Amino acid sequence: MSTDVLTPVLTDIWDAPRSWTLATYREHQGYRALARARTMSQADLVEMVKGSGLRGRGGAGFPTGLKWSFLPAPDGGPRYLVVNADESEPGTCKDVPLMMANPHVLVEGVAITSYAIGCDHAFIYLRGEVVHVYRRLLAAVREAKEAGLLGDLEITVHAGAGAYICGEETALLDSLEGRRGQPRLKPPFPAVAGLYARPTVVNNVESIASVPGIVLGGAEWFAGIGTARSSGHGIFSLSGHVTRPGQYEAPLGITLRELLELAGGVRAGHQLKFWTPGGSSTPLLTAEHLDVPLDYEGVAGAGSMLGTRALQIFDETVSVVRAVSRWIDFYKHESCGKCTPCREGTFWLQQIMHRLEDGKGTPADLQALSDIAGNILGRSFCALGDAAATPVQSGLKYFREEFEAGCHTPARELFPPAASTLHAQEVTA
Ligand SMILES: Cc1cc2nc3c(=O)[nH]c(=O)nc-3n(C[C@H](O)[C@H](O)[C@H](O)COP(=O)(O)O)c2cc1C
Ligand code: SF4
């Protein structure tokens, strides 16, 4: 397949020398969208983003312009924009490279969005472990401020302490306010009572970084990319057993078969066994789903979710039981403990998955696994619980025989880890 199918907009200048600097960004039309936006009315900007069909790139796909329009009419008090840069989902790796390679496209998006919603203090809540990205964002905000591009807008870059739950938008707001990050009961939604109980828009990094392109290219241009209900370009992150892993920016609706062709296919001599369309919280799919359009509707039709377009590729050497077991370790560790189904359920799932991985499971364990996952899904306070249930359920759906084998044979004997590792020196046992 030719690379013509790619639509590099957000990733356009990643290969340019010192792509992260204001000088390079301005050589590539940087901050022209902000100047244009300031000639428009706030209402027209919101309408433009609505008309583009941009849907939130943080996973759920909620229409961005519609979210902005939910803010109540100004009452003279503050209103906030909070950019969700917590990116912690296993497999998800698009926002961090975007902020490293071109932080100014995010800063410009923040400035335009702040203007559109009438906000004069915006926040970028960043996952705490990525100190290098924190420094880069601070430098970009400082550069833009010193160049007089931000006017009176204040942008605070906040480094979290590294908790997956702080990516959930209301837990993020609690954390930003200095409290322990746990989800809030909704309603009220952040648009009505968000940060410091004031009207707040929470959007993903990629959503906000897409705004300058929409202002420059126009709503129709953006809506013309992708599919009818999933418009625009998106970053698809290919990782795992693929010849050329990396970020591929393409129209929504592209298929994994097409992306794999661009990425040189599954690693030489191997076949695709299973994959995630949008990180570990999206039900896994198999080789029979290679031609599913990677848009919100197409992936939902195949029984999964587009999520964050984190395409983790696993070949035939990988034990599904072992992979699901690692994900459950993660969700159990990250469960915030606020609600019983997730707090207790992830603990029980972990016990059973470890037994199956060691070949010490029982037939009753398989039934319990299915029951517990079924009792977490849809009954948890936030979507982290659902995220823990989905790999178990989809693993059982497509690879039940591997879970049954966990009643007598350790996964490491059926699928020796050395065969699936990409870095031989890292194999432990
Ligand atoms: C456990 C959990 C973790 C999440 N992590 C992130 C994250 O790291 N980044 C993100 O943008 N959205 C994350 N979300 C989704 C946010 O709650 C929210 O939907 C999103 O920030 C809205 O932005 P968007 O409309 O631009 O997609 C997470 C949700 C849950 C339940
Ligand atoms: S689902 Fe899990 S992470 Fe979410 S509130 Fe309940 S315990 Fe916390």
> Could you give the CA distance from residue 253 to residue 296 in angstroms, rounded to a whole number?
8
Choice from 10, 80, 169, 338 to test ligand 1 binding pocket (greatest atom count within 8 A of CB): 169
Please count the structural domains in the chain: 3
Segment 77-83 shows an average pLDDT of 98
**What DSSP element (H or E) covers 66?**
helix 64-69
Collapsing DSSP to helix, strand or coil, 53 comes out as coil
Cβ(94) – ligand 1 distance below 6 Å? no
In this structure, the answer to whether residues 359 and 287 fall within a common structural domain is: no
Q: Is the four-CA dihedral 163, 174, 237, 309 of positive or negative sign?
A: positive
422 pLDDT band, cuts 50/70/90, is confident
Q: Reply yes or no on whether the pLDDT at 426 is more than 90.
A: no
pLDDT given at position 429: 46
Contact call for residues 395 and 321 (beta carbons, < 8 A): yes
Domain end marker among 198, 223, 248? 223
Q: What is the DSSP letter of 226?
A: B
Q: Which residues contact 208 (CB under 8 A, 6 or more apart)?
A: 81, 83, 106, 109, 110, 113
CATH number for the domain spanning 143: value is 3.40.50.11540
pLDDT at residue number 362 = 97
The DSSP secondary structure of 286-318, one letter per residue, reads EGGGTTS--SHHHHHHTTS--TT-EEEEEETTS
State whether 53 and 135 are in the same domain. yes
Expressed as residue numbers, the domain containing 413 is: 320-417
| Residues 210 and 232: beta-carbon distance below 8 Å | yes
Is the CA virtual torsion 372, 389, 272, 242 positive or negative? negative
Residue 426 belongs to a domain: no
Q: What are phi and psi of 210, to 5 degrees?
A: -80, -15
Atom 4 of ligand 2: nearest residue by CA position: 382
For residue 291, give the DSSP letter: T
Count other C-beta atoms under 10 Å from residue 141's C-beta: 23
CB distance 189 to 70 below 8 Å = yes
Average pLDDT over residues 278-301: 97
- Could you give the percent of the chain with pLDDT greater than 70? 98
The per-residue pLDDT for range 28-53, each reduced to its tens digit, is 999 999 999 999 999 999 999 999 99
Distance 206 CA to ligand 2 centre (A): 25
Ligand 1 in contact with 164 (CB < 6 A)? yes
* Residue 425 resides in a domain: no
* Residue 80: its H or E element: strand 80-85
Is the whole-model pTM more than 0.95? yes
Q: What is the pLDDT of residues 194-210, one digit of tens each?
A: 999 999 999 999 999 99
Residue 345, ligand 2, Cβ within 6 A: no
Residues 208 and 138 in one domain: yes
Nearest atom within ligand 1 for CA of residue 171: 17
pLDDT > 50? residue 354: yes
Domain boundary among the residues 262, 283, 315 is at: 315
> CATH number of the domain that 397 lies in?
1.20.1440.230
Half-sphere exposure of 340 (CA within 13 A, CB side): 1
Q: Is 158 in the pocket of ligand 2 (CB under 6 A)?
A: no
How does DSSP classify residue 3?
Answer: G
| Inside any domain, residue 428 | no
- For residue 1, pLDDT over 70 is answered with no
